[in-house]
Amino acid sequence: MTLLLPRRGVLRAGLAAPGLALLGHLPARAAEDPFALSVASGEPRPDSVVLWTRLATRWQGGGMGEAPVPVDWVVARDEGLRDVVRRGRAVAVAEDAHSVHAEVFGLEPDRPYWYRFTALGAVTETARTRTAPRPGTLPARLRLAVASCQQYEQGYYAAYRHMLAEDPDLVVFLGDYIYEASWGRNLVRSHEGPGARDLAGYRDRYALYKTDPDLQAMHRACPWLVTWDDHEVSNDYAADRGEAEEGEAFLARRAAAYKAFWEHMPLPASARPDGPFARIYRRAGFGDLAGFHLLDDRQHRAYQACQRPGRGGGGYVSREACAELDDPSRSMLGQAQESWLRDGLREARARWTILAQQTRMARLGTARTPVTYWTDGWDGYPAARARLLEELAASGAPNPLVIGGDIHANLVAELRPDFDRPEAPAVAVEFTGTSITSQGRAYRETYAADPHIAYANGSARGYLLMTLTPGTATTDLRVIGDARDRDTGIATQRRFVVEAGRSALHPG
């Protein structure tokens, strides 16, 4: 049996790995269920996955005290857990909010596995994960769901109930897993506390969200790949600047937020933050069918252009009034991540190259005169966007698809380095998905000044369902009727098909 010990937490708790002496002082059985936040899996590789849980008897404060707790896990080839292939023990420590990130290796590629955790006499529900196909193999299909923006107060997670019924192989979550503050109209639930600003506050916010049964069920159904956006820390933040604070004070808040994010996501130890810094951009693959580049457009970006005095965050500006907008030195990803992405695109070999990032990439000016652009998205970093799209074209990366969230609307577009040349071939196709619950914004279906946008609609909540085969990428814009109704139905707002070898959209 493998003993997995979070080394820093164990040493600080004063434990020696062989004896685990202090564990003997724990109660033999918890008086309450310590798995109130359920389980999750993520980071599927051909031979490994990450299994996650956090011991908590209640969402406020966790209820676990300061003592370390041994947590056993088991992985099997069958749902009944009779054909066990791996088992092990982790030690959940208070330093990490009693979270567990079990990195399970030695698995077979391209197959489902079932797992569960045991601690303090309690057992989790059996959950399912899967491994990725091995490089060099070309799977017949990958079905993935793309989700973002799940403000707890603004609706129920009915979208996940419908997503579960569609049985995706993978969920890609693109940010705003929590919201640090309350906002919106006609709220149906409550955060039951103040905004998150410190480690305890962020931990409680994640725990509250994770009590939702539909979200729990979707995490138990398949592995997730996750990245963050702004609300995991603070609205519209950029690097070390929020809307109303910056510098050391904001970095202390960011450190707390990053720590809580890692504690509550199925991420490996390598993603654990070091204070206010964390390496979240990374790659993942699904055989030779799909290669994912998961990006971080918050931690390393330049400040938004032409900010108001004494205030950070985004705003609408025109090129005429804001020369800073077109400054080529400004970056959305930071120099190191841009270089990392450039190298990865040049080496890309999978049939579909997927850039999984936070927000809309296509240019979209407002109908004002002069035309204005929203500075918190890629429109606020046009030189960086052109640089990325030029690199994408020059790299020869096969069949690029860009997926995003953030805008609380479905938007589908063809991407070009120069959007003023609509006659030029597109270098990628973009699918930006609407929110799980977060209230929408005014997006019309067509934009005469931006003919590269094929469709835009912010009227409904939901997710993207993408089906990749060697020959096609089919995307359904799945939308629910009303996020305020637990039993709401679902429909397909639009369907688009991209054929391999052509960065062009076709109605499905």
Cis peptide before 70 (omega within 30 of 0): no
Would you put residue 403 in left (φ > 0), alpha (ψ -120 to 50) or beta? beta
DSSP per-residue codes, 132-145: PPPTT---S-EEEE
Share of the chain above pLDDT 70, in %: 94
What's phi and psi for 414, nearest 5 deg?
A: -100, 135
Could you tell me whether strands 99-104 and 352-356 are parallel, antiparallel, or unpaired per DSSP bridges?
unpaired
What Å distances lie between residue 366 and 236, 369, 443, CA to CA?
A: 19, 8, 10
Give every CB contact of residue 29 below 8 A, 6+ residues apart in sequence: 120, 121, 122
Question: d(Cα 143, Cα 148) in Å, to the nearest integer?
Answer: 17
What is the signed CA dihedral for 62, 66, 67, 72, rounded to 10 degrees? 30
CATH architecture for segment(s) 142-507: 4-Layer Sandwich (3.60)
Q: Which CATH number fits domain 2-130: 2.60.40.380, 4.10.95.10, 2.130.10.10, 2.40.50.140?
A: 2.60.40.380
Q: What is the mean pLDDT of the chain?
A: 93
Residue 17 has pLDDT above 60, yes or no: no
Would you put residue 228 in left (φ > 0), alpha (ψ -120 to 50) or beta? beta
| pLDDT in the model for residue 20 | 40
| pLDDT in the model for residue 30 | 63
Question: d(Cα 392, Cα 239) in Å, to the nearest integer?
Answer: 25
| pLDDT in the model for residue 366 | 86
Residue 178 has pLDDT above 60, yes or no: yes
Give every CB contact of residue 502 below 8 A, 6+ residues apart in sequence: none
| pLDDT in the model for residue 29 | 62
Residue scoring higher pLDDT (239 or 308): 239
What Å distances lie between residue 70 and 8, 67, 90, 99, 398, CA to CA?
A: 15, 10, 6, 11, 46
The letter for the amino acid at 238 is: A
Question: d(Cα 239, Cα 15) in Å, to the nearest integer?
Answer: 37
Query: Which residues belong to CATH 3.60.21.70 in the chain?
Result: 142-507
- The whole-model pTM stands at 0.94
Q: Give residue-wise pLDDT tens across range 295-328.
A: 999 999 999 999 999 899 999 999 999 999 999 9
Q: Give residue-wise pLDDT tens across range 83-131.
A: 999 999 999 999 999 999 999 999 999 999 999 999 999 999 999 999 9
Query: Which residues belong to CATH 2.60.40.380 in the chain?
Result: 2-130
From the list 284, 441, 449, 438, the residue with the least C-alpha distance to 362 is 449
Give every CB contact of residue 42 below 8 A, 6+ residues apart in sequence: 49, 50, 52, 223, 224, 225, 226, 265, 266, 267
